[in-house]
A and B are shown apart, each in its own frame.
Chain A
Amino acid sequence: MGRAGKIARRTFLIGSAAIAGGVAFGVYKLNQTPENPLVAGDGQSILNPYILIDQTGITIITPRAEMGQGVHTSLAAMVAEELDVRWQDIRVEHGPPGAAYANDVLAKSALLIKDFEPRSNLLLKVEDNLAKAPKVFGMQLTGGSSTTADGYHKMRLAGATARQVLIEAAAKRWGGDPAELQTHDGVVISSSGKTATYTDLAAEAALIEPPQGIPLKPKSEWRYLGTSMPRVDMVSKSTGTAQYGIDTRLDGMLFASIKTNPRLGGPMISFDATAAKSQPGVRKIVDLGNGVAVIATNTWLAMQALELIDFTWGDAPYPAESAEINATIAKAFEARANTTLRNDGDPDEVLSNANPDEIITAEYSAAYLAHAAMEPLNATALFEGDKLTIWSGNQAPVYTRQKVAKAVDLPRDQVTLITPLIGGSFGRRLEFDYSIIAARIAREMPGTAIKTTWSREQDMTHDFYRPAAIARFRGLMSDTGPIVFDGKLATQSAVQSFAGRLAGLPVFGPDRVLVEGMYDQPYGIANYRVAGHIADLDLPVGFWRSVGNSHNGFFHECFMDELATANDLDPLAMRLRLMQGVHAPSAKVLERVAAMAGWTGKSGKNIGRGVAFTYSWGTPTAQIVEVRDTPNGIRITKVWAAVDVGVALDPRNIQAQVMSGIIYGLSAAMMGEITFSDGQVEQTNFPDYDALRMDNSPDIAVEVLENKDRITGIGEPGVPPAMPALANALYDLTGKRARSLPLNQHFDFA
């Protein structure tokens, strides 16, 4: 018990707030201020949805999930900066489900605009209205590299407003003018030298109506923001004391694991669990409809018993073999485009008048990909008849609670969702499948907490995959650059797949995400068209770090390289010319990365260099990859990257995120591939679906620029350009143009 018990009690306190509802103060006033989902326990005071104070100190409640991006630290720094507290005195916890925690920035990203273009006043108004919608629709989502931008104003305001009510509480207690009081490191100080700590004043402060329009500190007075802060989770993550979902421990708990139809979405015809039932430690076999759970006294015993069950599985609702699946995707080109968000000039007209020999055409493809986070999917649930508590590391608390409640026939307010630390996600934990399953299993044994853990094999073969995609290009060059860039894309829609799961019915309409990374790049080309075609496939796909940009960045930037090299143009200089007058910060990251790498357009013997640029999630990112031919095969030796996030709140963390994105992207480009046979995913564990390791990962240099006029995120933008930069470097090294991913099908890597 010990540590785990303490954590459980603490998190339950916050969780119980979600059940009770209640009185508190909204700091972030909109037309309709959402109810504060926190409720004070004994000795606790809640100053707003983000700040809880008790005798042990100050807890900052984050609206977004910590899954490696460092958002616990960044969001806490925003609050701490304005609240005026010592860094070592704060704790950070995930917030419960609550409309107050909706993600405004993510909602704005639904607009069908090119993000790099200046926004008109009308558009800004539309964005403001959109930002009100997520509170209604439960968009408490961690994704879209939006956490920092979304929190930047509201978390600082939460800190500043809380500080003000603490000052007013002291003024009331002492009598006198609040304007005469100051704060320092969690203490209110009067001009005569009287002091009171925030913890001491909290109960009185919680009774004061928070004032509006508290000014925020100017940048020049920042002491935490703009500085590389020690991460709040670093000590626990270096000592094995960090509590992930999979580490949840409760008194008398049991452990479960599952097997569901490996043909995704297919039914279970029958199963025979006779042998499994008599295995040591097995307590119960649960029929899940499309699979079976074993509840046992130990996770491994549950997993072993599952191996003894004979299953008869039904067919998948999609073609059984990868070749047929890919052919179905290609068939999407025959139908009308679903989404055409760039249509400059008239590519058809210009190409019909061109010399056919001068038209450059190419077809590219990218494979399905798994998320493969290090922490396998899991959730722990305790069903107690009229209520359920679930511990689930997730990126979508409102949706998760809603889906879990429905699955176990309880009202939403009878479900308490606690979000522990997340051991990687990359988009996988936006889904609610694993939470639903854990809740359904727990319902089978009321009163007993049950932790359901997926084997790595179950996790890898039951993902919501990054969809495979095909791009077809036509291009025409002048002496200085492209005059026609005509791209068509065919792929499944991750947005529609997810929205269908959320709504429980099919979703249609244009899909910006389908063509992101292709239509929204800051290049000026006279005849520039990007069209997206949706493949009709009932194969579960979802959001994979950088989403549509993850394949479109590869397609767009490789073809750009083809156009340049076909005319002996320097691919970096050509891009810079295309960016002139379009988006200066983008041109600057490209110039910066060229300087970092000492780009000359020429690489030495046995060395290849490739450049790529992707504007994604509002953050222009340029990368140069260097590869070397060695006796053991080709090595990726060096990557240089320059990014522009507008305002760099935590430079070291930004660099870490970019490095992370590069390694994630290079891993996928080099060796990432999910294939299907007999309707089943063929890759089951890391030997089949590996990633870069210490011995084949490159040295990486990252520089962070601040030339943009607004703050944007960094969790994903490092991913997309890594893939084309690698492919372009390999072309430079070998003269061979690889047009499909993964690249280990074309090259031998060391």
Chain B
Amino acid sequence: MAFNLTVDGTAYSVDVPADMPLLWVLRDELGLTGTKYGCGISACGACTVQIDGQAVRSCVLPISDLSGEVTTIEGLGTPENLATIQQSWIDHQVAQCGYCQPGQIMQAAAFLAENPFPTNQDIDTAMAGNLCRCGTYPRIRAAIKDAARQMRGG
């Protein structure tokens, strides 16, 4: 079946089965490999993208259920034009293997857009679905707090 979708501001049309998850449309059909496969059952958060600003696990969202504009890590910012949260990730040298970080960043960015004054507890709750096997959590926490401060303008 043919489906139209908008990803990072670009319109695409793909011909795939209706139940194909958005993740595999992004990665294998569109070649947008920034969004990662980790578990396939929304248990690790590596595949997190934003749809109209909401954080969504793309590995369990059938393409036929997609409604809204998709933003991936590649659309959030680029090496030449970083989003505030990405700059904060770099300032705090968060990543180790880095594989989970696109998902962590997309989750954190959506969370901060809704909650500009997060408590530690808020951050823990919002980020608990995103697994990092390298254990970068202490720096993720610091980067989110710092990004929140900057996005509030102080």
Contact = CB atoms under 8 A, between A and B. Distances in A.
Interface of A: 1, 4, 67-70, 228, 230-231, 233-244, 246-247, 249, 255, 280, 297-301, 303, 372-376, 421-426, 453, 455-456, 652, 656, 659-664, 667, 685-687, 690-695, 697, 699-700
A236 B135 CA distance: 19
B99 A244 contact: yes
B9 to A, nearest CB: 15
Closest 8 CB pairs of A and B: A240-B34, A663-B135, A423-B99, A237-B98, A68-B97, A240-B73, A68-B96, A300-B24
Contacts, number: 189
Contact of B123 (A70, A455, A694): A694
Contacts of B28: 255, 297-300
A375 B79 contact: no
A691 B73 contact: no
A455 B96 contact: no
A455 B45 CA distance: 15
B72 A238 contact: no
Contacts of B36: 246, 374-375, 423
B133 A424 contact: yes
B141 A246 contact: no
Tell me whether chain B's interface is mostly helix, strand or loop, or mixed.
loop
A69 B23 CA distance: 28
Interface residues of B, number: 62
24 contacts: A230-B90, A235-B82, A237-B101, A238-B98, A240-B34, A240-B73, A243-B33, A255-B28, A299-B24, A300-B24, A374-B36, A374-B46, A374-B97, A421-B97, A424-B134, A456-B38, A667-B135, A686-B39, A686-B131, A694-B124, A694-B137, A694-B140, A695-B125, A697-B138
Contact of A686 (B43, B89, B138): B43
A247 B99 CA distance: 11
A653 B29 CA distance: 37
A660 B33 contact: no
B137 A697 contact: yes
A686 B131 CA distance: 9
A660 B127 CA distance: 17
A692 B53 CA distance: 27
B137 A685 contact: no
Contacts of A694: 123-124, 127-128, 130, 137, 140-141
A613 to B, nearest CB: 20
Given A243-B33, A375-B38, A422-B97, 5 more contacts: A237-B98, A238-B105, A241-B78, A372-B133, A661-B135
Contacts of A236: 79, 98
Interface in B100-154: 100-102, 105, 123-125, 127-141
A446 to B, nearest CB: 22
A664 B133 CA distance: 7
A67 B38 contact: no
A694 B72 CA distance: 22
B135 to A, nearest CB: 3
A656 B137 contact: no
A656 B131 contact: no
Nearest to B87: A238
A463 B72 CA distance: 31
Contacts of A300: 20-21, 23-24, 28
A240 B74 contact: yes
A423 B101 CA distance: 10
Contacts of A244: 99
Given A249-B33, A300-B21, A234 B93 contact: yes
B101 to A, nearest CB: 6
A299 B89 CA distance: 30
Contact of A69 (B34, B37, B39, B96): B96
Contact of A456 (B17, B39, B101, B135): B39
Contacts of B130: 693-694
B117 to A, nearest CB: 18
Interface string B52-68: 00000000000000000
A425 B133 CA distance: 10
B90 A376 contact: no
Contact of A238 (B29, B37, B86, B96): B86
